Amino acid sequence: MVDQQPEMMFRTEEGVLVPAVTAEEMREVDRIAVEEFGLGILQMMENAGRNLADNVLTMLDGARGEITILAGSGGNGGGGLCCARHLHNRGFKVWVVLDGEQAKLTTAARNQLQILRAAGVQPMDASHAHDLLRRSRVVVDALIGYGLRGTPQGKTAELIDLCNDRGRRILSLDVPSGINATTGEAPGPVVRPDRTLTLALPKTGLHSLAGDLYLGDIGIPPEVFHRLGLNLEPPFREGHCVRLVSV
């Protein structure tokens, strides 16, 4: 059973309480969803990417302009790549910058990149990131997510700093890159987003987060959360995203 103390809860603007989970608990949610309920990684990633694209559109508020996606090699990056496709499908000029070699992408993220490349969207070399971020109306941080291990290093750390320095408006996926999803601590450089779209359930480390926090539905049934002892009333009633506030 998960201890649902008040400090471990968020609520929607409609007053629905939503429990927060640690990174370890979220890994167990993912495992149960895939191994016991049969949800596919690509299926959940597609939902995450579409919701992320919708949040970009909300931030643009009807404006047009260029968008840059900063993508890591794991599931978070895969969600960012999927978001890039949905924005491309809506006629936006989308730039994609990877924080490492394409060969290091996970299978699901590589699949997302293959679809993008087939559609004519090629990842840009990180050396162009300075100019791309300056030109973009929104920068999407999909570098690390809840899987942070240690201090961001190398190109990832450089892109985090550049994102903060040059990003006009920043949207982080799941957890701002550089933040420990469980504790909220930042052992090194950390993205400072205007908005964060966290997935499935909020993470305990997001309670002191600056900027707006939204929760995105990636299709996981409430019964998955019940397996962890989480008493969750479905928070999604009229859409796939809800705004959260700390309790």
Instruction: Give the residue extent of every domain in the chain.
Output: 6-246
Bridge partners of residue 218, in order along the sequence: none
Strand-by-strand arrangement of the 67-71 sheet: 17-19, 9-12, 241-246, 212-216, 195-199, 170-173, 138-142, 67-71, 94-98
* Residue 163 and residue 92 in contact, taking contact as beta carbons nearer than 8 Å: no
Angle between helices 107-118 and 41-60 (to 10 degrees): 60
Q: What CATH number has the domain spanning 6-246?
A: 3.40.50.10260
Q: Supply the Cα-derived Rg of the chain in whole angstroms.
A: 17
At residue 60, the 3 state secondary structure works out as helix
Query: How does pLDDT run along the chain (247 residues), one tens digit per residue?
Result: 444 443 489 999 999 999 999 999 999 999 999 999 999 999 999 999 999 999 999 999 999 999 999 999 999 999 999 999 999 999 999 999 999 999 999 999 999 999 999 999 999 999 999 999 999 999 999 999 898 888 999 999 999 999 999 999 999 999 999 999 999 999 899 999 999 999 999 999 999 898 999 999 999 999 999 999 998 888 998 889 999 998 8
Buried b (16+ CB within 10 A) or exposed e, 88-105: beeebebbbbbbbeeeeb
- Residue 212 tokens read as 């707006």
**Amino acid identity of 155?**
K
